[in-house]
Chain A
Amino acid sequence: TQLLEQSPQFLSIQEGENLTVYCNSSSVFSSLQWYRQEPGEGPVLLVTVVTGGEVKKLKRLTFQFGDARKDSSLHITAAQPGDTGLYLCAGARGTSYGKLTFGQGTILTVHP
């Protein structure tokens, strides 16, 4: 079983602070996706990283895929209350983007 360890599980910060969420595994994933989920809704895809060492930016969010494709990080700069939510990393097995193994999730709360 390919497991994804996501940390921290909970993060409570003030508006304007920076934060990083980590996703680690002992196994190699063909691709890794980051999602954000609001209560009572399905996850919304933020980004997919495929190549080892890849870095993608989405406004204030920076995503990195480890060189060995076993780990990934999400860094948010100058967090805002609107960033509050559950962030999930998910690794894909083989060539399928669909059969995902999810990390435990990080509940982020940004206080004004």
Chain B
Amino acid sequence: GAVVSQHPSRVICKSGTSVKIECRSLDFQATTMFWYRQFPKQSLMLMATSNEGSKATYEQGVEKDKFLINHASLTLSTLTVTSAHPEDSSFYICSGAQGYNSPLHFGNGTRLTVT
């Protein structure tokens, strides 16, 4: 089946630094990738939708300049949390779809802790 690899699985960083999270589709071309955020024991909240070669579409309330998304190829999308603060600590999950009508495949998530 289709696999989405997300890296790193865990990262601890100091407040004010930036962290990059990678999401790769290993055996399919992900035309569209979605980035979600999940707080402990809560559901997933969609942050943004990225399409290969174009700018990401952010959901209301998500800061574009803080959460930089790049989808430069059909197999790689990155999320950079810039100038991270403790309140950015969360579980970030990406998912990829081969096409607009295609089922989603989720990565295993990245646990970000900002100290």
Contacts and interface: CB of A to CB of B under 8 A. Distances in A.
A7 interface: no
Contact of B46 (A43, A86, A99): A99
Contacts of A90: 44
A44 B103 CA distance: 12
Contacts, number: 67
Interface stretch (A53-61, A62-70, A71-79, A103-111): A103-111
B46 A101 contact: yes
Q: Looking at chain B's contact residues, is the secondary structure mostly helix, strand, loop, or mixed? A: strand
Contacts of A6: 43
B111 A105 contact: no
Contacts of A40: 9, 91, 108-109, 111
A100 B102 CA distance: 12
Interface of A: 6, 33, 40-45, 48, 86, 88, 90, 95-105, 107
11 contacts: A40-B108, A42-B107, A45-B103, A45-B104, A45-B106, A95-B100, A97-B103, A98-B34, A98-B95, A99-B34, A102-B46
